[in-house]
Structure 1
Amino acid sequence: MYRDFFEMVGQAGISLHGAEVFHNGEIVLKRSFDGDIAHPIYSATKSVTAAAVLMAAGEGKLSVKDKLYYYMDSKYLSVMPDGFRQLSFTDCMTMCAAPYPFRPQNAAEQTESGRKDDWLYSIFRLDTDYSDRRFHYSNIPAYLVSAACENAVGQSLADWLRPRLFEPLGWGSPIYQLSPEGHFYGATGMYLTVSQLARLGQLFLQKGEFMGAQLIRRDLAEAAVTRHVFSQDGEGYGWFFWVRDNTFDISGKWGQRCVANPKTGLMVTYLSDNHDRSGELADIARRFVASAE
């Protein structure tokens, strides 16, 4: 059955950089078509940011219910909207913060007083309806969460994550993106191999445990991949994870994805560059993961 994913992808004529199948605690099949090199994972980076927040919460550096403004640099207090002060980590991690533009770097273009060299300042200057707390997918909530988490732990988020996440998962020193202010972007900008992304999925599939170590508190890891809200299209969403009835996804645009079924312990991870067929590829992965039920 483990070859079924590759057969379904091949029959559909979709190309992959590589893929890995994990079941019942072990890698059961892996194929690489490009030497297993690192590729951009785009919005799958958001799940790394979720891990950072949960680890910080587990160490008592913050609570997921805390308001983000507690952890923002004081220099922004004079321009920080009242509506923003009501937003918590969970509001942002469920994309129920505000109808923000998609990219933080675009915020400067949408307000007369924006600054291209300061994403946070430009975000706070946006004319945003903070009363609209429906699901609005954007990179801005993940960036806000990342900046707040970085201040909560008191150091560069990548440096803080290195001994807590990067090294335990065998990532070495992955490529990542910083904002002009120097914060970990948190929404996109990371490069990982198939195996590296799969280990992040394994961490959450195993409720925060990896190689015998509880890296994330169990209750927080479970909550992250639990459906908290629905998008306008009816898709479920957790804390920077897409969630269906029996699966959760770590997802980047154009086909970088990890699809896991906690009930059966089956997970498939793949990297690709399919601008037009990433949705079809995701459906194949979900059907494959559901086949073990």
Structure 2
Amino acid sequence: MILLRLKNAFYIFICALLCLSSCQKTGKKKFWNKEDNTKETIAIPANFTPDSIRQLTRQLDSVFKYFNKKRGFNGAVLVTKYDQVIYKGAFGMADFYKRDSNTVETAFQLASVSKQFTAVAIMMLQEEGELSYDDSVQRFFPEFPYHGITVRQLLTHQSGLSNYTYFADKLWPNRQQNLTNKDVIDLMVAHQPKPYFKPNTRFDYSNTGYSLLASIVEKVAKQPFSEFLRERIFEPLDMKRTFTYSPDVATLTGKIATGHTRFRQKRTSDYLDTVLGDKGIYSTVEDLLKWDQALYTQKLVSRETLKEAFTGMRINKKQNDEDYGFGWRIKPLPNGDTAVYHGGLWHGFSTYFLRNPKEHSALIVLSNLPNGSLSYLEEIRKVLYPAPPQAAGSAPVASRR
């Protein structure tokens, strides 16, 4: 029996050596050590007490009920502070025609809030040695007609590429046929729509860039982008109600919000919905909380990698202008902290996801009625992150917009 165990142990040891040797020969790095995913610790201030939490919860409830009644807010909300959920709620209808109410378990199209997932997918592959931020697009698509564009410039919206949602309207022959990420590249190769500017000269928000990033993920990972997200992000984080758009989304079970116009008319999908990377993820406020909390660990990428993603990289930035990292906008808050956030607007959905990493807080707002009600979120930010009281006799602080 002892001899048999020794033989088994020796066999396992030899297999491990062969596996390691194989990995070294291919030049591929191991996946990030998922065991080292401990959460960052944070000091909770003494004034964050049960009484202060109840007061803030009542205040938020009052504000969002007012938004719903007076400004037509329709959607779901979740707010955290120091990793604690202090408020969540749902308002209005997931589908006005069916009179189906929104809940905190309703999945909404995230629109451009989807971009942060695309960025993390790229960061995961970069950590694994599968790509570099300085790789050119031609490394993955040799026929791509625009030279001098790197993965980093796609991430930070400095590629200068024209918007596919505009040039596809002119170049896509059949609007009844769904456009894919590959089709976007093929249109650019065939027709070479004129870029807006030379790469790495200025910032211009680019949906085309993020659709290309999704295509790069597919090329490197050798699997559809939607499968990569599901297998490498959604399932490991237990985001059970998060998925990517597909033409049969209407047949899915469970609570899924329908996009509406400002007049509460149902928005129908069109040929652009099937392009992923810049949009296309559906999720709930509760699943986005899981995503938020995972970004305080190393389950997906290292803290050093995330630090770079949260670092502003805009060129020719004006004073007090917002910055942009990898899939995140960066802005100062009234209390002096720096927030990373993103908003989105697509086919009847309006979304907003803000994180304050310094105090582990988040503001998640998902809406399926883009009637301008999210324009009042500055009031919520002032409630959550109030400016410090001004010292007596001091000069007024300049407004930071």
Superposed pair shares fold, TM > 0.5? yes
Report the Cα distance in structure 2 between the residues aligned to 1:127 and 1:178, rounded to whole angstroms: 30
Residue identity in the other structure for 2:111: Y
Change (3 A) 1:126 1:113: farther
RMSD: 3.2
Q: Is the 8 A contact 1:267 1:289 kept in 2?
A: no
Aligned to 1:131: 198
What percent identity do the matched residue pairs reach?
21
Structure 2 partner of 1:255: 350
Question: Which residue does the alignment assign to 1:23?
Answer: 81
Q: Aligned to 1:42, which of 78, 103, 111?
A: 111
How far off is 1:38 after superposition? 0.4
How many Å separate the matches in 1 of 2:168 and 2:245? 19
The secondary structure found in structure 2 opposite 1:152 is: helix
Given that 1:146 and 1:184 are in contact with CA atoms closer than 8 Å, whether structure 2 keeps it comes out as no
CA distance 1:3–1:198, shift in 2 (3 Å): farther
- Would the aligned equivalents of 2:239 and 2:290 in 1 still touch at CA under 8 Å? no
Partner Cα distance (1:166, 1:112) in 2: 32
Q: 1:154 to 1:238 in 2, by over 3 A?
A: same
CA distance change for structure 1 residues 223 and 292 in 2, over 3 Å: closer, same or farther?
A: farther
Partner of 2:186: 121
Q: How far did 1:172 drift?
A: 2.7
Determine if contact 1:94/1:237 at 8 Å carries over to the other structure: yes
- CA–CA distance in structure 1, aligned partners of residues 240 and 205 of structure 2: 30
Contact 2:134 2:152 in 1 (8 A): yes
C-alpha distance in structure 1 between counterparts of 2:109 and 2:213, whole Å: 21
| 1:287 counterpart residue number | 382
The whole-number CA distance in structure 1 between the counterparts of 2:203 and 2:357 is 25
Matched-pair contact (CA < 8 Å) for 1:248–1:261: yes
- 1:62-211 equivalence runs, <5 A: 62-72=131-141, 74=142, 77=143, 80-81=144-145, 84-101=146-163, 104-110=164-170, 118-124=183-189, 125-131=192-198, 133-172=201-240, 174-177=242-245, 185-204=276-295, 206=296, 209=297
Counterpart residue type for residue 87 of structure 1: I
Instruction: Note closer, same or farther for the CA distance 1:234–1:219 as it changes in structure 2 (3 Å cut).
Output: same
Q: Give CA deviations for 1:34-89 in whole Å, capped at 9, x if unaligned.
A: 222101111111111011111111222112222222112x5xx1xx32xx231111
Q: Distance in 2 between matches of 1:98 and 1:165?
A: 29
- Residue 292 of structure 1: CA displacement? 8.8
Q: Distance in 1 between matches of 2:292 and 2:354?
A: 8
3-state SS of paired residue (1:244): strand
Q: How many residues align?
A: 278
Q: Give the deviation of 1:184 after TM superposition.
A: 6.3
In the superposition, the TM-score normalised over structure 2's length comes to: 0.61
Which runs of 5 or more structure 1 residues have no equivalent in the other structure? none
CA distance in 2 between partners of 1:199 and 1:141 (Å): 27
Check the 8 A contact 2:208/2:278 in 1, yes or no: yes
Letter in 2 for 1:237: Y
Cα separation, partners in 2 of 1:244 and 1:50, compared to 1, 3 Å: same
Stretch of structure 1 that moved more, 37-46 or 115-124: 115-124
- Structure 2 distance, partners of 1:45, 1:188, is 5
The CA distance in 2 between the partners of 1:270 and 1:112, in whole Å, is: 34
Stretches of structure 2 that go unaligned for 5 or more consecutive residues are: 1-55, 92-101, 248-270, 333-337, 389-401
Q: Does 1:234 align with 2:321?
A: yes
Secondary structure of residue in 1 paired with 2:243: coil
